[in-house]
Amino acid sequence: MSTGEGLGVAIDWGVGRYEPTGEYLRPVSEVVVGLSGALAGKSVVDVGCGTGNAALMAAERGAVVTGVDPAARLLEVARERAAAEQVEVNFVAGDAASIAVADQSADLVLSVFGTIFAPDGEAAIAELVRVTAPGGIIRFTAWPPGGPLSAINKVAEQFMAEVMGKPAEAGTAAPGTTAPGTAVGAAGRVTGVAVPVIAVAAQPKPFAWFDVDVVRAAFAPYGFEVELARRGLEFREVSPEAYLAKGAQHPMSVSAMSALAGHPDGKELEAELLSRLRAVITEVNEDPPAFKSTNDYVILTAQRA
* pTM greater than the 0.95 cutoff: no
- Torsional sign, CA 83, 18, 212, 201: negative
Per-residue pLDDT for 43 more than 80?
A: yes
pLDDT (0 to 100) of residue 262: 86
**pLDDT beyond 70 at 127:** yes
Q: What is the pLDDT of residue 6?
A: 53
pLDDT tens digits along 226-276: 999 999 999 999 999 999 999 999 999 999 999 899 888 999 999 999 999
> Under a CB-based contact definition with an 8 Å cutoff, are residues 233 and 297 in contact?
yes
pLDDT at 8 (0 to 100): 58
Q: In the predicted model, is pLDDT for residue 104 greater than 90? A: yes
* Maximum average pLDDT range among 8-17, 179-188, 231-240: 231-240
pLDDT band per the 50, 70, 90 thresholds, residue 166 = low
Compute the average pLDDT of residues 140-161: 94
The answer for residues whose C-beta is within 8 angstroms of residue 179's C-beta and 6 or more apart is: 145, 154, 172, 173
Least trusted range by pLDDT, from 83-87, 212-216, 265-269: 265-269
Residue 76 has pLDDT above 50, yes or no: yes
Q: Per-residue pLDDT averaged across 138-152, rounded? A: 95
Flag whether pLDDT at 216 surpasses 60: yes
Average pLDDT, the chain: 86
**pLDDT band at 19; cut points 50, 70, 90:** very high
Q: What pLDDT score does 65 carry?
A: 98
**With 90 as the cut, is the pLDDT of residue 29 above it?**
yes
Q: What's residue 264's pLDDT?
A: 87
Does residue 182 surpass a pLDDT of 90?
no
Query: What value does the mean pLDDT take over residues 143-157?
Result: 94
- Residue 9: pLDDT band by 50, 70, 90 thresholds? low
Of the pLDDT bands very low, low, confident and very high (cuts 50, 70, 90), residue 188 is very low
C-alpha dist (Å) from residue 103 to 97, 106, 181, 188, 282: 13, 8, 39, 50, 48
pLDDT at 153: 92
